[in-house]
Amino acid sequence: MEKFFQLFVAAIALGGIYALIALGFVVVYKATGTFNFAQGGFVLLGAYLVYQFGDDWSLPFFVALILAMVVMAGVAAGIERVVIRPMINGPPFTIVLITLGVLLIIEQAVRTLWSEPAYVLTTPWGNGVTEVAGVSIRHVDMWTVGFATLVLGGFFAIFRFTTIGIAMRATAFDQEAAAAQGIKVGRSFSISWAIAGAVAVVAGAMLTSRTGSVLTPGLSFIALRAFPAMIIGGLDSPGGAVAGGVVIGVVEVMALGYLDFDWIGSGFEVVLAYVLMIIVLLWRPNGLFGTRAVQRV
Amino acid sequence: MKLLPDKLTRMMFGLAVLIFLVTPLVLDDDFWMTVLANAGAFAVASIGLSILTGFTGQVSLGHAALLTIGGYTVGYFGADHGWPMWAWMLAAILIGALVGVAIGPFALRLKGNYLVVVTLALVFITGYVVENWTSVTGGFDGKSVNSASLAIGPVDFGELHIFGRDFSREQGIFYLCWIMVALTALVGRNIIRTRPGRAMRAVRDRDVAAEVIGVSNARYKIAAFAISSAMAGLGGALYAISLRFISPSNPAAELFLSIRFVAIIIVGGLGTIYGAVIGALLLGPLPELVQEFAGLFDFTIPIVDRPLVGDSPADNGIFSAASFSEILFGVLLVVFLIFAPEGIAGMIRRLRRRLAGRSNVDPDNVSDN
């Protein structure tokens, strides 16, 4: 039982990170119908920006974080405006591939701008650990849960209670009707991408911090592990993204902790996430909370 | 529809055959032979992906995983167990087809983006199996494929000896790969221009309507996956033969390879067989080409005072050669998708239509080959 509690906080923390990444995907998908592979690139670039502002330019960590979120939001919105917006009326397949291309470009740009193979991201909590009732909890995990809750909560508050949020929901629901009501559809698109960029920064920073604070270009690959999260949750359900993220985070950490048989080998927890995703999809082809697609014939 | 419907196609085909036969004799460089052989292996796999995505409309990001499977098949059966070439080739094709049949049913249940992510799952699962099934795959260390037999009947592609002339292993493999390209293209073309091809196009364009008029989605989607996976398996086996080695790569690299294949069929031209081959010729060797010609990009950018592409880290180039080729892929993909979504084959098609004008080429019959 002790082991369970030991893993629990870490599980929720990783779940929170995946929830953030998945939310970034889902917000863009819900608002624009685009499956944005470049989200992994946003996570990567976001983390490097935090390093740049925090370590290289020696700004206090939280300032660096906020600044990186702002910059990343701008970059993401910019990419949307320049590369995605012109293609919004084309086949969805095309846009997905364009986001793949953008992902490649972002990855290489990061490698070029920050040419060392790895950097150390300093955080206020470092490697601190606290003992509570015989269970050691890492500070980074606690901060992750805190941040994730804050950001997710903030997002849902905006989505639910502000005019902008209503505008975005209206655009996602029916673009034409929203436009007819005077809602600026283009602005909704840009804002959704900006949100995706901003949450990616937090996810990237916390992800780096929890894996030894070593920042490498391989971070964008970790975003791939969040895919099962948003698929399980349903591509157009922000709540589903959070639920899916937490589920995948818990599954990964628990699998890593409990399933250590010899024959299992390494990397099983990632495969398990994908296998779980496949099982859920067979049962609910649109994810647990996604809207059931009604096909016009 | 005829295999080579018009005079121009026949001429181009004849020219291609001639170039193929003559190239190793003229180009006496083993490095380039290997590059072209690899392009051939990629072409085989690309034809498969073209059938799956271009003709049947199923997007797959798992293609790289199928090549890996093919590579390990030849490593295990060809190198470890010394099977003759026809045997390991058949094994690569069959195992590929089996995997395809396993994925196919997902396409029946899932649409669009959900299907794409499931194909991505294939990459992760394959990566995991490859790293951990060490008895078959050799785990992290990989596996040498050098000893796999390249002989069929009296002809040994590893040591070709024709008309008193010795061919190197690289040249022999070049011939082998491109003969397989020809065979695969033949099979592909025959599928496409006959009834199954029309059925697949129907599934691509309006799958529900197709089902209604009697085109079984189940049969053709699964068949498309099976065929494309079989071709990918073969392509992977050929690639492994050319590299003489197969080792696991991380899922991110595999994803990039899958994206490369998608880029190949898009740049080449979605919905054609020869487009896939052209795409493979152009984009397949791109990383090697960039590496070779990094010197060309060696001009120094004035403000930054560093060369654009560095041959080695010591050069302090803005991009490394590997980095530059990846960016080039990304840029090419985006540019082609925005400005020329029909690819090179599409451009050729439009050119022919414009030239057709008054000649006796029937423009409507030229499309969708």
Residue of higher predicted confidence among A296 and B30: B30
pLDDT for the residue A297: 63
Contact predicate B348/B278, CB 8 Å = no
Read off the pLDDT of each residue in B80-107 and give the average, rounded to a whole number: 89
Contact A111 B323 (CB under 8 A): yes
Contact A112 B124 (CB under 8 A): no
pLDDT for the residue B112: 75
Read off the pLDDT of each residue in B92-97 and give the average, rounded to a whole number: 94
SS (H, E, C) B62-94: CHHHHHHHHHHHHHHHHHHCCCCHHHHHHHHHH
pLDDT at B314 over 60: no
Q: How far apart are CA B146 and CA A46, in angstroms?
A: 44
State chain B's mean pLDDT as an integer. Answer: 81
Read off the pLDDT of each residue in B176-205 and give the average, rounded to a whole number: 90
**Cross-chain CB nearest to B132 (options A109, A265, A297):** A265
* Confidence label for B367 from pLDDT (cuts 50, 70 and 90): very low
One DSSP character per residue, B11-36 reads HHHHHHHHHHHHHHHH---HHHHHHH
pLDDT for the residue B366: 47
Checking A62-71 for CB contacts under 8 A at 24+ apart, the result is A62/A124, A65/A201, A65/A202, A65/A205, A68/A201, A68/A205, A69/A197, A69/A198, A69/A201, A69/A202, A70/A198
Checking B205-213 for CB contacts under 8 A at 24+ apart, the result is B205/B57, B207/B57, B208/A295, B208/A297, B209/A297
pLDDT for the residue B223: 92
Residue to test with chain B: of A97, A260, A262, A268, most B Cβ within 10 A: A97
Read off the pLDDT of each residue in B202-226 and give the average, rounded to a whole number: 88
pLDDT at B101 over 90: yes
User: Does the predicted model carry a pTM greater than 0.80?
Assistant: yes
Residue of higher predicted confidence among A277 and B150: A277
Closest CA in chain A for residue B340: A94
Residue with tokens 């167990």: B81
Read off the pLDDT of each residue in B197-214 and give the average, rounded to a whole number: 87
pLDDT for the residue B368: 46
User: Looking at residue B158, what DSSP letter applies?
Assistant: G
Distance from CA of B7 to the nearest CA of A (A): 34
Task: Report yes or no: A240 at the B interface, CB cutoff 8 Å.
Answer: no
Contact B128 A267 (CB under 8 A): yes
Contact predicate A141/A10, CB 8 Å = yes
Identify which of B273, B230, B228, B268 has the alpha carbon closest to the alpha carbon of residue B61.
Answer: B228
pLDDT at B165 over 50: yes
C-alpha separations of B14 from A293, B4, B291 in Å: 49, 11, 32
Closest CA in chain B for residue A29: B113
Read off the pLDDT of each residue in B169-183 and give the average, rounded to a whole number: 87
Q: Strands A135-138 and B245-246: what pairing?
A: unpaired
Residue of higher predicted confidence among A107 and B326: A107
pLDDT at B357 over 50: yes
In this structure, the dihedral spanned by the alpha carbons of residues A166, A170, A175 and A181, taken in order and rounded to 10 degrees, is -80
Read off the pLDDT of each residue in B94-111 and give the average, rounded to a whole number: 89
pLDDT for the residue A72: 93
Read off the pLDDT of each residue in B234-240 and give the average, rounded to a whole number: 92
Contacts A111 to B, Cβ<8 Å:
320, 323
pLDDT at B215 over 70: yes
A-B Cβ pairs (cutoff 8 Å, strict): 126
Q: Flag the least confident range among A286-290, B165-169, B171-175, B347-351.
A: B165-169
* Confidence label for B302 from pLDDT (cuts 50, 70 and 90): low
* Confidence label for B153 from pLDDT (cuts 50, 70 and 90): low
Distance from CA of B275 to the nearest CA of A (A): 18
C-alpha separations of B172 from A168, B32, B155, B196, B275 in Å: 60, 13, 10, 34, 25
Task: Report yes or no: B72 at the A interface, CB cutoff 8 Å.
Answer: no
Residue ranges of chain A whose pLDDT lies below 50 = none
